[in-house]
């Protein structure tokens, strides 16, 4: 994850730090402002300087010109990119930007990609406002923040527009009102009069938000759900065999018992779950193996399944697709496979017979068996989405002789496909177009997963995971938004009746 450091010598920068912290690893450094306008030597504490040099992105809100200039001179070779948020005059700006990795924006919410990989990663989430709008039957259904202004004003505007216009078909009024609403945000752009031009910075910020909504409405996605329930079942859309591409020999250290036990008491089940969690397993579920869950027509002696998930290493997500990412991905599969065999041995030591489905193996459809076990639900990406970690997990299974596993027969996460119908961010995020949106029956939308185009298992690509709101915002945030949207929709329908 990018490391961002925000430096200030006055009242600016705290709000940007609060907003950016939700997206990147962010640290706030306060320096003492020099008392004289002109200083021969600027003293920056060593501990502060050390923190600054560790950053990928440095944002300076320092108002003293000598402090700003000296700081940039000191750290420009250590920091990937520097954003000077406060500067005085074009001459000073030119002096700072003689370094190729320094940007002096007129206003912080005008930042956009410039071709520098680190800067582009930062400005893909923070900078010039960008929103995504989903319409349902020509009416506002969902508004998402794609790129937030550093100060957080984009979220402020989106929340207001979402509340006021949910279920409304008055689309023409939205961009103008979004721009006007920005005026109610305690934006400090107008107060930072450190520039040589006469433009009102707050008016520029309003214009950027107005433009963001106009662009989003042009790119809106209609949801043509006909209500015939033809698109409710998702199991067939899951990734049947993307990375499951090999057969693994049994790596158990303990042999199966000759006469396996078939009944486990509640105390043992709890002990097994506790042991699983102590090894790093995120969630444990139970289900019955049925033929539709098998990728190949294989005989599995024990149809009762224990399903395990583990959180993917963040480093895999943060590494760009390629040899290094694939190496990390393969090592993680190997680690998870070893943990699964360790848990299988634990069951065998306690008298139960087992068969392991290695997470990299092609025995079973892991997303589908995870859904059937009640651990989550399959999203449009074909990946299992769970409340703990969204789509960012690997899945394995142990088929076991225990006949009385505590199986769940309902799934509280069945609302997820309804949200996915209105989202589709994973489709846009896929760089190889392995997820293709097509028209289904009755005007519905269907997502086709083209396995031969997916580079998840050849280059360790995780773009569909990164682009998913369940990964970006978290399960609780998305669920609250979905519930709020449905409540407003029901309220409007009741009024119509």
Residue-wise pLDDT for 308-338, tens only, equals: 999 999 899 989 999 999 999 999 999 999 9
Instruction: Write down the pTM of the prediction.
Output: 0.63
Q: What is the pLDDT of residues 109-119, one digit of tens each?
A: 999 998 888 99
Confidence of residue 223 (pLDDT cuts 50, 70, 90): very low
Q: Which pLDDT belongs to residue 297? A: 67
Is the pLDDT score of 235 beyond 60? no
* Bridge partner residues of 398 (DSSP): 306, 356
Q: Which pLDDT belongs to residue 421? A: 84
Mean of pLDDT values over 64-72: 89
Confidence of residue 234 (pLDDT cuts 50, 70, 90): very low
Tokens read off for 103? 């940007």
Contact 457, 132 (CB under 8 A): no
Is the pLDDT score of 47 beyond 60? yes
Mean of pLDDT values over 149-169: 91
* Distance from C-alpha of 178 to C-alpha of 186, rounded to nearest angstrom: 15
**How open is the CA angle 176-181-186, to the nearest 5 degrees?**
145
Query: To the nearest 10°, the Cα dihedral for 287, 292, 294, 296?
Result: 170
Q: Which pLDDT belongs to residue 231? A: 41
Q: Which pLDDT belongs to residue 360? A: 86
Contact 456, 430 (CB under 8 A): no
Q: What is the pLDDT of residues 260-310, one digit of tens each?
A: 999 999 999 999 999 999 999 999 999 999 888 988 767 788 999 999 999
* Distance from C-alpha of 3 to C-alpha of 379, rounded to nearest angstrom: 31
Q: Which pLDDT belongs to residue 442? A: 52
Is the pLDDT score of 39 beyond 60? no
Q: What is the pLDDT of residues 135-145, one digit of tens each?
A: 877 888 889 89
Is the pLDDT score of 9 beyond 50? yes
Is the pLDDT score of 232 beyond 50? no
Length reported for the chain: 497
Q: Which of 393, 280, 405, 299 is nearest to 347 (CA)?
A: 405
* Distance from C-alpha of 453 to C-alpha of 430, rounded to nearest angstrom: 10
The pair phi, psi for residue 5, each rounded to 5°, is: -120, 130
Q: Which pLDDT belongs to residue 221? A: 46
- Read off the DSSP letter of residue 361: B
Q: How far apart are the first and last CA of the chain?
A: 50
Which of 24-38, 51-65, 207-221 has the highest average model confidence (pLDDT)? 51-65
Confidence of residue 153 (pLDDT cuts 50, 70, 90): very high
What domains, with CATH codes, occur in the chain?
3-104 (3.40.50.720), 130-222 (no CATH), 231-497 (no CATH)
Q: Which pLDDT belongs to residue 269? A: 97
Tokens read off for 31? 């320096």
Q: Which pLDDT belongs to residue 127? A: 94
* Distance from C-alpha of 299 to C-alpha of 18, rounded to nearest angstrom: 55
* Distance from C-alpha of 229 to C-alpha of 235, rounded to nearest angstrom: 14
Reduced 3-state DSSP string for 246-261? ECCCCCCCCCCCCCCC
Mean of pLDDT values over 422-437: 88
Average pLDDT, the chain: 86
Helix axes 323-349, 266-278, angle to 10 degrees: 150
């Amino acid at each position: 994850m990018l490391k961002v450091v925000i430096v200030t010598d006055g009242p600016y920068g705290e709000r940007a730090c609060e907003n950016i912290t939700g997206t990147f690893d962010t640290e706030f450094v306060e320096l003492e402002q020099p008392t004289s306008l002109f200083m021969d030597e600027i003293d920056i504490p060593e501990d502060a300087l050390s923190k600054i040099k560790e950053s990928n992105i440095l944002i300076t809100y320092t108002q003293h010109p000598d402090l700003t200039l000296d700081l940039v001179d000191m750290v420009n070779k250590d920091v990937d990119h520097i954003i000077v948020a406060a500067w005085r005059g074009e001459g000073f700006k030119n002096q700072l930007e003689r370094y190729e990795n320094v940007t002096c924006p007129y206003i912080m919410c005008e930042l956009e990609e410039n071709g520098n990989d680190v800067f582009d990663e930062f400005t893909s989430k923070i900078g010039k406002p960008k929103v995504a709008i989903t319409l349902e039957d020509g009416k506002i259904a969902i508004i998402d923040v794609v790129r937030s202004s550093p100060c957080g004003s984009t979220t402020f505007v989106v929340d207001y527009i979402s509340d006021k216009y949910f279920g409304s078909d008055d689309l023409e009024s939205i961009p103008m009102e979004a721009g006007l609403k920005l005026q109610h945000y305690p934006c400090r752009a107008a107060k930072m009069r450190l520039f040589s031009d006469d433009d009102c910075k707050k008016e520029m910020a309003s214009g950027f938000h107005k433009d963001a909504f106009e662009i989003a409405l042009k790119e809106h996605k209609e949801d043509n759900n006909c209500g015939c329930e033809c698109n409710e079942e998702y199991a067939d859309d899951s990734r049947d065999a993307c990375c499951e591409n090999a057969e693994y020999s049994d790596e158990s250290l303990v042999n199966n018992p000759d006469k396996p036990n078939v009944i486990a008491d509640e105390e043992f089940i709890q002990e097994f779950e506790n042991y699983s969690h102590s090894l790093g397993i995120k969630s444990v579920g139970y289900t019955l193996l049925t033929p539709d869950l098998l990728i190949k027509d294989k005989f599995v002696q024990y149809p009762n399944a224990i399903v395990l998930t583990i959180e993917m290493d963040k480093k895999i997500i943060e590494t760009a697709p390629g040899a290094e990412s694939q190496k990390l991905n393969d090592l993680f599969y190997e680690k998870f496979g070893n943990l699964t065999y360790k848990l299988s041995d634990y069951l065998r030591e306690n008298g139960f017979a087992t068969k392991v489905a290695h997470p990299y193996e092609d025995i079973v459809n892991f997303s589908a068996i995870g859904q059937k076990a009640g651990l989550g639900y399959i999203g449009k990406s074909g990946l299992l989405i769970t409340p703990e970690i969204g789509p960012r997990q690997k899945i394995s299974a142990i088929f076991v002789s225990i006949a009385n596993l505590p199986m769940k027969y309902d799934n509280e996460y069945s609302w997820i496909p309804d949200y996915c119908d209105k989202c589709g961010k994973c489709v846009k995020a896929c760089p190889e177009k392995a997820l293709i949106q097509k028209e289904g029956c009755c005007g519905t939308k269907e997502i086709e997963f083209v396995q031969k185009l997916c580079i998840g298992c050849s280059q360790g690509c995780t773009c569909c995971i990164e682009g998913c709101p369940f990964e970006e915002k978290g399960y609780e945030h998305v669920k609250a938004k979905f519930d709020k949207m449905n409540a407003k929709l029901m309220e409007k329908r009741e009024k119509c009746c």
